[in-house]
Amino acid sequence: MPYWWQIESMLGHLQEILAHINYTRTSPIYKKTELCRYLFDALNKTWTAFNDFQGKLKRADILSFRQLLIEGIPNKYIEEFIKSKELQDLVNFEPPIMNHNTLRRRGYRPDKEIGHHLVREATDEHLQLVNAYRSYKENPSDDTKERLLKKTAQLLYVVRSNIAHGEKTPYGPDLKKTERDEKVSGVVIPVLLKLLELIFDKPDQKLVVYGTLAPNAPNERLLKNIAGTWQDCKIRGRIIQRHGLKYFKWIPDADEINTKMFVSESLSDKLSSIDQFEGEDYHRILIPAKVGKDLVVANIYEWKYDI
């Protein structure tokens, strides 16, 4: 049975989500808070698509995020996420993440020290995640697993809200909060990337090939020694040829192109070296590809410039 996003009616949502993820890959975003913000936006679009699939378009954002983690990730990947280093690093992050909305409601001012009791109250969501993580470790069950996913969504939503609020306060800019947000974003970004990776069935194990990396092409050696399989697929875009080389541009409403996809569990470890081979004139982006009747999310090298 295909995953929810592989349904043809989800294609429009999927294209929008991938365009947003690709922006985080190809744009010069230097601050961790900015990258974190765009990844949260990609997840927001993902849970909106999931709501549409479930017929729950009026569901509140935090509930949507929870349901995406509980029901929107393929079951075979739930345990992988829960046991991941990315989630463990978030759980163990010090100092605990504070909810800035709680601070504001309790009269926090950026020029005043935060008292012990207020710190305790403001870090409650993080402590709930720590307790849920500990409970699952001590007694793995469907109930403790679901609680852990809910508490993960809850804390990530706090981070999203903190970042959205920015540094402005009625008393002037909160520079300490800016520093906290940047440090927190550093541990949250890997979690968001892990979630997107698992929701979309590990796209970094898939590479659409249209040029010199293909079988029997001049640079086939880059993939030839990686254990994997080739599949026929269809993508949308435009390919032109100049000076004996092919250049691709993703255009979602263009005609379909027949090409090949390489699939390998080892591919993700090789992508950085392939990136170097392809050079700075190419972006590695994610696009939807059709394999049979199913939509698949895969990498492809896109020419940076207009064609």
Same domain, 122 and 157: yes
Same domain, 119 and 102: yes
Same domain, 126 and 23: yes
Q: What are phi and psi of 177, to 5 degrees?
A: -65, -40
Same domain, 210 and 293: yes
Side-chain half-sphere of 135: how many Cα atoms within 13 Å?
A: 16
CATH number of the CATH domain containing 234? 3.10.490.10
* Boundary (domain end) residue, out of 201, 226, 245: 201
Binning pLDDT at 50, 70 and 90, where does residue 168 land?
A: low
* Boundary (domain end) residue, out of 140, 167, 201: 201
pLDDT digits (tens, 9 = 90+) for 172-220: 677 888 899 999 999 999 999 999 999 999 999 999 999 889 898 899 9
Q: How many domains does the chain have?
A: 2
Range of the domain at 134: 4-201
Largest CA-CA distance found in the chain, in angstroms, rounded: 68
Same domain, 249 and 173: no
Same domain, 241 and 289: yes
Q: What is the pTM of this model?
A: 0.94
Same domain, 168 and 247: no
Same domain, 94 and 234: no
- Other beta carbons within 10 angstroms of residue 115's beta carbon come to 11
pLDDT digits (tens, 9 = 90+) for 4-49: 999 989 999 999 999 999 999 998 888 999 999 999 999 999 999 9
- The sign of the dihedral angle between the CA atoms of 94, 97, 103, 108 is positive
